[in-house]
Amino acid sequence: MRRVQLIELHEQSWFPKFLRDEITDTLQSAMNFFGAYAPVAPLLQTALDATCSPLIVDMCSGGGGPWLKLSPRLHANDHASLQILLTDKYPNLNAFQSASANSQNHIAFHAAPVDAINVPRELRGFRTMFTSFHHFQPEEARAILQNAVDASQGIGIFEVTRRAPSAIAWMFLWALLPLLFTPWIRPFRWSRLLCTYVLPIIPLVLLFDGVVSCLRTYRPQELREIIAKLSATEYLWELGERANPAGDVPVAYLIGYPRPKGLTS
């Protein structure tokens, strides 16, 4: 199955902001409910230990990403001072504020738009992207990695989508989830109920964008080809897949950071 560069509706500039926020809120609630990215905590922990970074700059954070569930797993391992900074090209500030308020001061956010291809130099920290790297075409994906390399910052890419028939089949079940848990998403909004149960815009967009996400997701060999084109001779790279207890689809990852001083191989 070849990678197909289609568009996801909710990431388009013309997509209504209130609907984009509803979509990202729903995605974030589902990620936290299932703990979809729990398997990558040890990988992220190892990278943070290697870089000694006290800050994670999360890019394309959407509705806050997986951090409410993932952050405590890192703080439990002597990273009480670790801070997570949420950023996005189209920041969902209400969701960011909610995540920050419920994080015991471990999560903050950058209110201005941040482009993952050109992260402001002042935002120095280990960069992460969850379920978002597939949004970018190969040259853009390479530019994101090269931007991290040029800034001498570590970066971790994590994806629960996969370019496989089984993953695409899961998207049809995924689109039904809002029908079950929408009333419990906070903050409560009548517009979310309207766009889920009366006019099922949210489930339909989730289905369309979910299938497109799978078709756009990079396979390990494609990630290796992107890495090979980087100017990053002093970087260590690791990629692979981690078993996901929340379902049959594993979590794919790509992690890179500057080679620690004194490490020659």
Instruction: State both tokens at 55.
Output: 């800050």
Which pLDDT tens digit goes with each residue over 216-260? 999 999 999 999 999 877 899 999 999 876 566 789 999 999 988
Residues of the chain with pLDDT under 50: 79
- Spatial strand order of the sheet with 126-130 comes to 107-109, 83-86, 55-59, 126-130, 155-159, 251-258, 235-242
Tracing tokens 């703990």 back to the chain, one arrives at 35
The H-assigned helical ranges of the chain are 17-34, 41-51, 67-75, 93-101, 138-150, 165-174, 178-181, 190-193, 201-216, 220-228
Residue 240's nearest CA partner among 77, 61, 30, 46 is 46
DSSP 58: E
The amino acid at 201: I
Residue 214's nearest CA partner among 254, 176, 159 is 159
Q: What's the CATH number of domain 31-165+216-258, 3.90.190.20, 3.40.50.150, 3.90.1330.10, 3.40.50.300?
A: 3.40.50.150
User: Long-range contacts for 18-21 (Cβ within 8 Å, ≥24 apart)?
Assistant: 18/191, 19/195, 19/201, 19/202, 19/205, 20/90, 20/92, 21/63, 21/92, 21/94, 21/95
Instruction: State both tokens at 97.
Output: 């504020």
Tell me the domain boundaries of the chain: 31-165+216-258
Q: Report pTM.
A: 0.90
Beta bridge partners of 177: none
Instruction: State both tokens at 43.
Output: 């990988």
Which pLDDT tens digit goes with each residue over 37-62? 989 999 999 999 999 988 999 999 98
State the sign of the Cα–Cα–Cα–Cα dihedral 257, 261, 263, 265. Answer: positive
The pLDDT value given to residue 79: 46
The pLDDT value given to residue 248: 62
The pLDDT value given to residue 264: 55
| CA 40/CA 38 separation, integer angstroms | 6
The pLDDT value given to residue 233: 79
The pLDDT value given to residue 76: 52
The pLDDT value given to residue 247: 60
The pLDDT value given to residue 75: 63
